[in-house]
Amino acid sequence: MAEVVKMPKMSDTMTEGVIAKWHKKVGDKVNSGDLIAEVETDKATMDFESYQEGTLLYIGPKEGEAVAVDAVIAVLGEEGEDYKSLLEGDSSASKEEENKEEASSNTEEPASDDVDEDSPSVSAEDLGCTVITMPLLSDTMTEGVIAQWNFKVGDAIKSDDAIADVETDKATMEVTAYAEGTLLYIGVEAGQAAKVNDIIAIVGPEGTDVKPLLKQQPSSSGKVAKSEEAKQESKETKEEASGSTASASNASDDSRVKASPLARKIAKEKGINLNDIEGSAEGGRIVKKDVETFVPKAKEQPSAPASAATESKTISLPQYIGEEKYTEQKVSQMRKTIARRLSESLFTAPHFYLTISVDMDNAIEARGQINAVAPVKVSFNDIVIKAVAVALKQHPAVNSSWQGDTIRFNEHVNVGVAMAVEDGLLVPVVRFADGKSLSHISAEVKEYGQKAKAKKLQPSDWEGSTFTVSNLGMFGIDEFTSIINSPDGAILSVGAIQQVPVVKDGAVVPGNIMKLTLGCDHRVVDGATGAAFLQTLKGLLEAPIRLLA
């Protein structure tokens, strides 16, 4: 009998996996234990072995496609067996949900739609009206908030009137009517938000019934607004052409010049007369870039006395034209999980930070003596891990985690070691670090580092930490703060050893100082508790002989 093969959950944080490679194809025989695919999880690329036997009848996702955990990825059975009913059964639940959502959305539609279905559609042009929609005032804008209305229903509107101020994601900007008539309808009250292209106002002949326009689909109203705007702009172009002689006599007045609200605002701030600028938009309309790139022409000055020959010269800078470019890369499973877990930690756990300076003179001397006899080279990070493990045994409150209704105080010490890899960050765990020697810790961390770079870490390697150490000292970072690796209650950020002048026995002498910053979850670790832990850790690092006791 045919059986479905589902995307397995290969780590505690995995929500979906990417099929990196298929090792079998449809029609191949598969035995229990055979490698059928490689799956890229949020931690590493792992082998997926079959627990079933049979012929591979169906493969769902292609290589490179992401699949949710427990979704069907393949079907095994007897050669020629009909398996389509299994796939239909798997999707029945999702189809049922879609039907429910569709039914609920149908019930939410207004009853008036049924009435208007057979009635002829009425356009704004038929009524002689202009529909004003929420304009797209910035490249990232999805909605705007009406900061204030400058007119009320019944007021007469001119084409260049700013009828409202709209607060976008960038700034507060004016919305120009581009229509003449009476303000017949206001769709959004001051302080409320409207999506881009939603109807916010209607202008037209006084007394016009605008209800038929409000019953139209939003898409049609958007088209109407665009056509009306184009019509109005062409009308204004003709008016400007016929009134060119009149504008020449009053060149200083630029209130009738076609310009966007933002362009008009920038010109006013720079003291530029819009009559002097040539617009690049449709119909000669002046936009932001026209004002920003405008270079004033030198005006002819009347003959001046010789004393004015020393007047200052204007400096014009050449215009630099560049090209905006970017590339986009698909987010990896590891990066998705890092983003989700760290966001959950930062926005759930109330973080606070404590920083302390440690004199590393004795640790430097001790490391040299240890490496003279140790089977593997011990790093400063290995010494920090060992010191952290010993200090945690003395301060169990820091070796704890928030469980909601309870606080778990861990009696074992498992130290997670943050490691940077090509796609992000992994945190393998040195288990029972308090009982291991420096050489043992060093060898284990080096092995984890090699496995991490080769993407060979297994879930058992990164699960179960009770505390985390993050070290950026090798990059020359003096000090920094880290986000807690949930569910741990704290994380230690280790900076570089800096050679600085220090005071010893009343004299200024060269010293080697390292800064440690403890990030704490305030739900389980209080300030005094974290400070006491750092004091113990400082004492162990400044007298490392105590780590060998």
The distance from CA 304 to its chain's CA centroid, rounded to whole angstroms, is: 61
- Residue 75 bridge partners (DSSP): 4, 58
Residue in 23, 412, 440, 522 annotated catalytic: 522
Query: How far apart are the C-alpha atoms of 463 and 414, rounded to whole Å?
Result: 10
Beta strands (DSSP E) in 400-466 are 400-402, 407-409, 415-417, 419-421, 424-426, 429-430
End-to-end CA, the chain: 64
Query: How far apart are the C-alpha atoms of 328 and 467, rounded to whole Å?
Result: 35
DSSP-derived pairing of the beta strands 16-22 and 199-204: unpaired
Look-up of token digits 């060093």: 442
Q: What is the dihedral of CA 364, 370, 376, 382, to 10 degrees?
A: -50
Preceding amide of 218 cis, omega within 30: no
* Longest alpha-carbon distance in the chain: 107
Sign of the CA dihedral with 88 first, then 90, 92, and 97 last: negative
Residue in 28, 47, 276, 526 annotated catalytic: 526
467 Cβ contact list (under 8 Å, min separation 6): 388, 392, 398, 399, 413, 414, 415, 416, 488, 489, 490, 491, 492
Whether 440 is catalytic is no
Annotate 508-533 with DSSP letters as a single string: EEEEEEEEEEEEEETTT--HHHHHHH
Q: How many CB atoms lie within 10 A of CB 164?
A: 24
Whether 522 is catalytic is yes
Name the residue among 17, 28, 30 with its Cα closest to residue 71.
Answer: 17
Backbone angles phi, psi at 38, to 5 degrees: -110, 130
Name the residue among 361, 405, 350, 379 with its Cα closest to residue 530.
Answer: 350
Look-up of token digits 């009517």: 177
Which residues are designated catalytic? 522, 526
